[in-house]
Amino acid sequence: MPKRQVEITAPSGYAATLAAVGEQYGGEDIYAELGENDRCLVRIVCETNVVQTIIDATHRAMGKDAHWRLTILPVEAVVAPDQRKPEKDPEGRTFSFRGRSAPREEILQAVEKGTELDADFLVLVVLSAVVAAVGLISDNVAALIGAMVIAPLLGPNLAFAFGVALGKQDLMRRAMLTNVTGLGIAIFFSMILGNMLGGPFQSIEITSRSLAGYDTIALALAAGAAAVFSLTTGLSSALVGVMVAVAIMPPAVVLGLMLGSGDMKSAGGAAILLAVNIVCINLAAQIVFVAKRISPRTWSEKKASQKALWTNFSAWVVLLGGLATGIYFAGW
């Protein structure tokens, strides 16, 4: 299982307390030293799935007044004599759906990058829209896959779902703004391109993204869940496959092209496909975050987050039901 090194700097009087926290909650290697200015440094090497417990225990031990800082570092490898005792009862193991999960602070730092509405984000949106438009119009699958990978639209959706899980209104607002801005730019740019080219567009790639079916819902739900699993377990390489499996940029570009060329029927199909992908990503992400027990640290924060969690969950379910009904009556 992946390991992390937790480093805590604090007033020297807390050195023994922090070392005891590491020993009590699964630290495999604990080191404490006293430094200058009445400060101490405590290093705890542990498995990833106990980092969250150590962080929460550190919060309780330090209180609000102490000046301290906790840093989480990845551990590439550990070389040491194997001193583990053989397990006497391997059949006694219990399965936990939660599995291994990165601590909420580590996930938060990762998803916050997806909410940054800066020049880099805007440039990536425009470039991915250009590449997607070229790939769609010319039936160039390689270009289309490239657009799926470089499009920065998955991050804001994962950040929004994580904000819901923690009840962080500010994170939810920033993620929503970034997502709406990115989609708006992609659709607007594609509308201009569609108006210039005039249509009709007969490529297979465009036609396939003007239709939505129940298989689309299943794919989007599975890919959304996979995105969160890869995020919480630290397997970031798997996100590339998710980006291709449930891409947001291609249907957004098709929607713009169809609106610009005046093909309202195809635009409606692309809009439904785009909505299905967004709704399913968020719904699946929230389900996995709950299953992984990703929640605020304190009881009061947990209680406050429940309202946002159930409100958003209910809204996504209702939206998905409406989209499924629309697909049924459209006969796709």
Specify if 92 maps to a domain: no
Q: Is the peptide bond before 296 cis (omega within 30 degrees of 0)?
A: no
Domain count, the chain: 2
What is the rounded CA–CA span in Å between residue 177 and residue 241?
Answer: 25
Q: Which residue has the higher pLDDT, 130 or 240?
A: 130
Same domain, 61 and 121: no
70 & 187 share domain: no
Q: Does residue 98 lie in a domain region?
A: no
**Tens digit of each residue's pLDDT (9 = 90 or more) over 175-229:** 999 999 999 999 999 999 999 888 788 889 898 888 888 888 998 898 888 888 8
Mean pLDDT, the chain, rounded, equals 85
Does residue 291 sit within a domain? yes
Output the pLDDT for position 89. Answer: 47
Whether 263 and 177 map to the same domain: the answer is yes
Asked if residue 18 lies in contact with residue 1, where contact means CB atoms within 8 angstroms, the answer is no
pLDDT tens across 81-95, in order?
765 555 554 444 454
Q: Identify any residues that bridge with 43 across adjacent strands, giving them in sequence order.
A: 7, 31
Residue with the bigger pLDDT between 160 and 94: it is: 160
Q: What letter does residue 97 receive in the DSSP assignment?
A: T
What CATH number has the domain bearing residue 63? 3.30.70.120
Q: Tokens 């909410």 sit at which residue? A: 115
Contacts of 51 (CB under 8 A, 6+ apart): 4, 6, 72, 102, 103, 106
Percentage of residues of the chain with pLDDT beyond 90:
39
Q: What is the pLDDT of residue 145?
A: 87
70/205 same-domain check: no
Strands across the sheet containing 29-34: 29-34, 39-47, 3-11, 69-75
> Which is more confidently placed, 129 or 246?
129
Q: Is 152 in a helix, a strand, or coil?
A: coil
Residue 95 domain-assigned?
A: no
Q: Give the residue numbers spanning the domain of 20.
A: 3-76
Residue 316 pLDDT > 50: yes
Q: From its phi and psi, is residue 229 left (phi > 0), alpha (psi between -120 and 50) or beta?
A: alpha
Asked if the structure places residue 137 within a domain, the reply is yes
Report whether 165 contacts 306 (CB < 8 A): no
How confident is the model over 264-302, as pLDDT tens digits?
A: 888 999 999 999 999 999 999 999 988 888 888 777 777
Give yes or no for a contact between 40 and 17, defined as CB atoms under 8 angstroms apart. no
- Do 161 and 30 belong together in one domain? no
Q: Both 183 and 290 in a single domain?
A: yes
Average pLDDT of 108-135? 91
252 shares its domain with 316: yes
Q: Which of 82-86, 162-166, 258-262 has the lowest mean pLDDT?
A: 82-86
Asked if the structure places residue 93 within a domain, the reply is no
pLDDT for res 242: 60
Q: Is residue 236 part of a domain?
A: yes
Spell out a b/e string for 267-303, using b for 16 or more CB atoms within 10 Å of the CB, else e: bbbbbbbbbbbbbbbbbbbbbbbebbebbbeeeeeee
* Torsion 299-303-305-306 (CA) sign: positive
Residue 122 lies in a domain: yes
Tell me the three state secondary structure of residue 68: coil
Tokens (6 digits) for 256:
């713009």
Q: Rounded distance, CA 73 to CA 76, Å?
A: 10
More confident of the two residues 89 and 242: 242
Same domain, 66 and 112: no
Tokens for 2? 């992946």
The residues near 270 (Cβ < 8 Å, ≥ 6 apart) are 209, 210, 251, 252, 254, 255, 258
Which ranges of 100-202 would DSSP assign to H, the alpha helix?
104-112, 119-138, 141-150, 154-166, 169-197
- 0.85 exceeded by the pTM? no
273 & 188 share domain: yes
For residues 234 and 163, membership in a common domain is answered with yes
Give yes or no: residues 183 and 313 share one domain: yes
What is the per-residue pLDDT for 172? Answer: 92
Higher pLDDT, 239 or 270: 270
